[in-house]
Amino acid sequence: MDISGKTRVCGVIGDPIGHTLSPTIHNAAFNHLGLDFVFLAFHVKAAELEKAMRGIRGLGIHGLNVTMPHKSAVIGCLDEVDFTVRFLGSANTILNRGGKLSGFSTDGVGALKALLENGVDLSGKKVLLLGAGGAAKAIAFVLVPEVGELAILNRSVEKAEELAETLGHMFNRKVMGGSLSPNTIKTNLRDSDVLLNATSVGMKPNLSQSLVAPEWLRSDLSVMDIVYNPVKTKLTKDAEAAGAKVVSGVEMLIYQGAESFEIWTGKSAPIKVMRKAALNKLSSKGESK
């Protein structure tokens, strides 16, 4: 990597940030395409967010990913946002155009592409979405126009029902909200075609946890878990054992990253290169199982 005064800088901000795979993924993509870009991680605490964003303008940093806990608060520091960001109330990607900061959300599109590119048929299908938090809301927003029916289950039933009602009216689709209880999950799974876990259940170090009992899974299901650490969660292992089609959380990570990459560079993202870099990094850290 030959860094000069012409090199464009992109990065990611968050707190904590030491776990991020974004530098590995994006630098591999920049190098593969021979782009004069570099990607760095910046540890930014909530109290320093506004200062950091002024620094983005002052230093001319070209593009930024935004992770927890800044996805909502960062909107107040931006000059313009798209409709998706306004609806979700969060942004995870920023483009700096001559000091004008534009905000985007690529989480939902990343999840949708991860499903479609891995051969999951959504047209006319029922999707069961576990969770109604930030990531789940972004995913639901892009899924509703693509599917026949969406069920959203969440620990806060009111939050799930409110999101379901809003999306149902917005897209004129059948969307229901309910409780994230074992019985409700089991009941909804009976006629679901796709199961998507958008909660943190099963994330390292809680490797033995899953919201779904193994006996509820079937071979005709497609299952995606947005958790990517570990690459294979208990849910996806159980789904594989049941013969279901499984999509790893790494796929969503890669495709949402690819959307950001294309916003910053105007180039098609090298998906295979980005996936290989992510999996190699996880493997080297012992987090691929």
Residues marked as catalytic:
71
State yes or no: 249 annotated in a binding site: yes
| DSSP code, position 142 | H
135 is in an annotated binding site: yes
Tell me: is residue 228 an annotated ligand-binding position: yes
Is 248 annotated as ligand-binding? Answer: no
22 is in an annotated binding site: yes
DSSP result, 159-173: HHHHHHHHHHHHHT-
| Residue pointed to by tokens 């126009």 | 145
Q: What is the distance of C-alpha 110 from the center of its chain?
A: 6
State yes or no: 256 annotated in a binding site.
yes
List alpha helices for the chain, DSSP H: 22-33, 49-59, 83-88, 107-117, 134-143, 157-171, 182-189, 234-241, 249-265, 271-284
Find out whether 133 is annotated in a ligand binding site: yes
What is the longest distance spanned by two Cα atoms in the chain? 59
226 is in an annotated binding site: yes
Distance (Å) of CA 176 to CA 122, 146, 179, 226, 276: 17, 15, 10, 21, 37
User: Does 187 count as an annotated binding residue?
Assistant: no
Q: Which residue numbers belong to the known binding site for shikimate?
A: 20-22, 67, 92, 107, 228, 256
Q: Which residue numbers belong to the known binding site?
A: 20-22, 67, 92, 107, 131-135, 226, 228, 249, 256
Q: Which residue numbers belong to the known binding site for NADP(+)?
A: 131-135, 226, 249
